[in-house]
């Protein structure tokens, strides 16, 4: 189901989280749970994966993660502000010590000049640290954008773990 380009960093995330004693939560929109799926495809992941939120709609972002509706209205669901709020919300609504979030336009529809297909924001919140947010513009079709997004999210978590 997942290739080694995803499973390798997923294994690294699980190992590193275990090494530092942190549970992990995911908050996913455009990837629809693929990050959590990649992590839980690996035996023993229950020692690290605390929970996953799939907040595909704006309402779900607000209800599940506490993202202020006004923030979504002001900046759009696909924005650094919302990615940060999603990661912070997943951390606040879980027992995890680190959380990763993704929001973007996977395509093939939904893109605009300002927010084209392939635009993805990834947030990573860790207790006691400033929340990091990255902006990516991935090429390719829907599958390629989602695949690249999962890898980038896992890579960001690894960087935040040090």
CA dist 47 and 94 (Å) reads 15
Pick the CATH number of 4-10+23-161 from 3.20.20.70, 3.40.50.150, 1.20.1600.10, 3.90.950.20: 3.90.950.20
pLDDT at 1 (0 to 100)? 82
How sure is the predictor about 110, in pLDDT bands with cuts at 50, 70 and 90? very high
Of 111, 120, 110, 109, give the one whose Cα is nearest residue 148.
Answer: 120
For 120-160, how does the pLDDT look when each residue is reduced to its tens digit (9 = 90+)? 999 999 999 999 999 999 999 999 999 999 999 999 999 99
Burial class (CB in 10 A: 0-12, 13-18, 19+), 109: exposed
Residue 113 burial (CB count, 10 A): 5
Block residue for tokens 């629809």: 32
Phi/psi of residue 132, each to 5°?
-95, 145
| Residue 101 and residue 27 in contact, taking contact as beta carbons nearer than 8 Å | yes
Q: Within the chain, where are the H helices? A: 4-20, 34-40, 58-65, 69-75, 80-92, 142-161
Per-domain residue ranges for the chain?
Answer: 4-10+23-161
What is the phi-psi region of residue 121: left when phi exceeds 0, alpha when psi lies from -120 to 50, beta otherwise? beta
- At 45-95, the pLDDT tens digits run 999 999 999 999 999 999 999 999 999 999 999 999 999 999 999 999 999
d(CA 145, CA 137): 9
Judge whether 101 and 87 are in contact, CB under 8 Å.
Answer: yes
- Evaluate if pTM is beyond 0.95: yes
């Amino acid at each position: 189901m997942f290739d080694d380009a995803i499973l390798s960093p997923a294994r690294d995330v699980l190992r590193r989280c275990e090494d530092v004693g942190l549970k992990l939560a995911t908050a996913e929109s455009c990837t629809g749970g693929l990050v959590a799926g990649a992590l839980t495809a690996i035996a023993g992941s229950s020692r690290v994966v605390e929970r996953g939120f799939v907040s595909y709609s704006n309402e779900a972002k607000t209800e599940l993660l506490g993202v202020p509706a006004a923030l979504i209205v002001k900046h759009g669901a696909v924005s650094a502000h919302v990615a940060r709020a999603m990661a912070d919300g997943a951390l606040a609504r879980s027992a995890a010590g680190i959380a990763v979030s993704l929001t973007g336009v996977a395509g093939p529809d939904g893109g605009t000049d300002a927010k084209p297909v392939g635009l993805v924001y990834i947030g990573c919140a860790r207790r006691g640290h400033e929340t990091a947010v990255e902006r990516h513009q991935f090429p390719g079709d829907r599958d390629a954008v989602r695949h690249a997004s999962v890898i980038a999210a896992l890579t960001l978590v690894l960087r935040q773990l040090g």
